Amino acid sequence: MIQKSLRPSHAPPEPRTVGSREARTPMPDSPAPPDRGANASDIVLEVDRLSLYYGASRALDAISLRIPRKRITAFIGPSGCGKSTLLRCCNRMNDLVDGVRTEGDVRFDGVSILGPDVEVNELRKRIGMVFQKSNPFPKSIYDNVAYGPRVHGVTGRSTLDAIVEKSLRGAALWDEVKDRLHESALGMSGGQQQRLCIARAIAVEPEVVLLDEPCSALDPVATAKVEDLMLELMKDFTLVIVTHNMQQASRVSDFTAFLYLGKMVEFGETDELFVNPREKQTEDYITGRFG
Amino acid sequence: MTTAATKRIGRPDGAPPRTPHGRHFIALCGGALGFCLLLVIGQVVLIGSQGLAYFWQADLELFTLDDGARLLGEVTARETYSPPDAAGLVEKPARIQLHVANRDLGASDFVWVDERRIVARTFPADAALLQRVEWGDFHGFVRRLRRGEQVVAEGEAAWAALLARVDAGDALRAQLQALEKGELDDVNHELEKARLAERRVELDAPAAPERERRLAAIAAERTRLDARFRAIAERTAALRAELDAEVVDLVTASGQEKSLPTGAILSAIRPDGMGVFAKSGLYLRRVWEFLADDPRESNTEGGIFPAIFGTVLMVFLMSIAVVPLGVLAALYLREYARQGLMVRIVRIAVNNLAGVPSIVFGVFGLGFFVYGIGGTIDSLFFEEALPRATFGTGGILWAALTLALLTVPVVIVATEEGLAAVPRAVREGSLALGATKFETIWRVVLPAAAPGMLTGLILAIARAAGEVAPLMIVGMVKLAPALPIDRHAPFLHLENKFMHLGFHIFDVGFQSPNVEATKPLVFATAFLLLVLVVAMNLTAITVRNRLRRRYASSGV
């Protein structure tokens, strides 16, 4: 069983205790009727009986969950369980795949985002994303970070400079790269590239950042840095992270959803879910009996 | 190998041994590569050595033959041959080819002399080689320089005086050329405009008073221009008179006399008296003349600057046309079109387009660009110049567009490959930031695919620079009267005909009245074309590598 005490020594100086967290946030409930539990205004994303089909095969099956604001929510589950698919529904990245069909709804601040009249580019500005494999553009570090703001109409050298510095500081990368902002981003190390992608994502000041297995291609040191960063970012952003690393989920997340074969098995507070899972399947998975 | 080892991991008994590394196959592959390299190097060396030797001035040799005839010239070749009387000879006799020049006096530029007939071979230090405006070189001796009937200098003093006169002639010719290409050209240009304006009046057929007014204005302009023309003509006549004022009396090796105005002499040297250093200077000067001068005497003498210029400008225009066309087409095919049967058919068609014989493109260019579009432009905008065609005849623009069509498949294919190499993850990264598909393509995909596009351009340039067949029917000419760029607005005249190195090689080598003399010129021009194509390619490759460094990929 994984305990919070396993959190590595690089954790932020302010230890977060279960009590203090509960004091700050109302707890959303597990897959339950929408009116139960949390205060609706603190729910950023609400997934409501969402099913998703790739052609004829069903990848997600009537999933409902509510993601609280300025918290870290983790999706865990074995490969192919649909956790990445679920994540990519939140900013409509699944639109890029041919033959995708959805049922149910995803609401962002109470507004449905799956309809055809949704301005997808605006949505993606507000819900940013970091991918499994770092994917910096073949441009300079500066241009990578400034890309999003430029696309959204920010011009002016000084404004961009400020955004770039703020974002790189936010991604704990500034001190490492401030002297080579105009060198190619592809010359950075893997961990740096991933943090650059995070800086790029937060440069457009989204409300939610979706992270799709952000550390799966990184070594332990780089992983630790990114995890620290996530805890830091939680102050300003809502983070949703997909991971197949259960220690990671238990280290960084406040809430965890366990998905299996396209169904959501259990959703709850991370401590609760790892220490005292309600479902047999969850327990089997987190104790390593399968997956 | 021991028996035990063979037993353990060897082949079954009696089976022939395998060659694990395919040694013979490696040798075959290496041999094939070596042969290719040999061919390429051999080609460059042959063309380069023959071409570069053209500019070197050999000594003039004076042959005295057994019948007392004397020949003065440069030895250009020596070979053994079988003369009619050779039947009983043990050893085949040799003959020497001599470039005797003096085309206006003798029968031919080059003569073959049987070595057995030569009594004496000397290198007279006072043998002179004069490059003339007409009739090629003159080989002989300078007797005297005179103005009218009055002798200015004689004997050795005549040579020094002649050199001074040739230098003065250079300056006079430069003045004359400046006048002709400058002011005279301007006046002609204005006169042509006046003629077209008059024609316009006829076409417009305005009311009588308006017509009178316009015609009067044109007539006044004409009078003014005629006066200017006469003034210039007087000045050129004076310059010409000065050029022809002094006459040099020459005598050939065989004793024939010849008088020549000094103005007709471009340069005078005595090669036998020159050291290696002086000859090297001459060599460089000749290379420069070759590169910078206009051709003379139906391309057999002078330089090839118009051909270089035409080739480069045409390739440049072609690049400007082919890159946007090819890149946009590839973008649609790869990024926007639904990948299905239709796109596959289009792709096959594009690839096949690359295999269409170039002359077919030439025919298409003539029918579509020249007669179709050009003819329409003429009837709409250049009506007053008809029946003389402006755009409705071959020109550098149509040639460039025809070649752009010829090379566009190459650019499409290379660009598509470049686009396909941009990883999906990078596109998703851009889309996830809220960029639209167009912004993603414009700001991320296209820059990353730029090296691919440049590869396409490099291939297109390499193909276009060497293409001759289609150009012959869409605007390339043996001798273009004017460069496509001149001093009259709009400066770049896309309708002008142009010269091209590829065709120049063919023309000089195989259409020339004096094939023997121009043979080395073929090599020199071919070498230059080679250098030009390599230079253009290297430029494009440098740009591409710079881009690659900028967008250096690290396995993203």
Q: Which of A256-260, B18-22, B285-289 has the lowest mean pLDDT?
A: B18-22
Extract the tokens encoding B187: 């006046």
Domains of chain A: 37-133+207-286 (3.40.50.300)
Compare B261 and A291 and report the one with higher pLDDT: B261
B3 band by pLDDT with thresholds 50, 70 and 90: low
Assess whether pLDDT exceeds 70 at residue B337: yes
The one-letter code for the residue type at B450 is A
pLDDT at A290: 67
Assess whether pLDDT exceeds 90 at residue B31: yes
Nearest-CA distance from A102 to chain B in Å? 20
Assess whether pLDDT exceeds 50 at residue A36: no
Nearest-CA distance from B449 to chain A in Å? 10
pLDDT at B219: 86
Q: Which of B46-60, B80-94, B348-362 has the lowest mean pLDDT?
A: B80-94
pLDDT at B327: 92
Predicted confidence (pLDDT) per residue in B202-234, tens digit? 788 778 888 888 888 888 888 888 888 888 888
Chain mean pLDDT for chain B:
84
Assess whether pLDDT exceeds 90 at residue B53: no
CA distance A78 to A264: 12
Assess whether pLDDT exceeds 80 at residue B274: yes
pLDDT at B517: 79
CA A229 from centre of chain: 12
Residues in B touching A125 (Cβ below 8 Å): 433-434
Which among B433, B552, B554 has CB closest to A124?
Answer: B433
Q: Which of B14-18, B124-128, B259-263 has the lowest mean pLDDT?
A: B14-18
Assess whether pLDDT exceeds 90 at residue B363: yes
CA neighbours closer than 13 Å in the CB half-sphere of residue B180: 11
Q: Is A137 on the interface with B (CB under 8 A)?
A: yes
pLDDT at B294: 83
pLDDT at B554: 39
pLDDT at B319: 92
The one-letter code for the residue type at B369 is F
Q: Is B437 on the interface with A (CB under 8 A)?
A: no
Predicted confidence (pLDDT) per residue in A173-204, tens digit? 888 888 988 888 888 888 889 889 989 998 98
A29 band by pLDDT with thresholds 50, 70 and 90: very low
Query: Cβ B432–A187 below 8 Å, yes or no?
Result: no
Averaged pLDDT for residues A11-30: 40
Averaged pLDDT for residues A25-44: 49
CB interface of A with B, residues 64-123, below 8 Å: 91, 93, 96, 121-123
Residues whose CB is less than 8 angstroms from the CB of residue A285 and which lie 6 or more positions away in sequence, other chains included:
A76, A77, A78, A258, A260, A291
Assess whether pLDDT exceeds 70 at residue A286: yes
Q: Which chain B residue lies closest to A204 (C-alpha atoms)?
A: B433
Averaged pLDDT for residues B494-510: 85
Predicted confidence (pLDDT) per residue in A214-239, tens digit? 888 788 888 888 888 888 888 888 99
Averaged pLDDT for residues A42-48: 87
Query: Cβ A121–B434 below 8 Å, yes or no?
Result: yes
Q: In this prediction, what percent of chain B has a pLDDT beyond 90?
A: 14
The model's pTM: 0.78
A101 band by pLDDT with thresholds 50, 70 and 90: confident
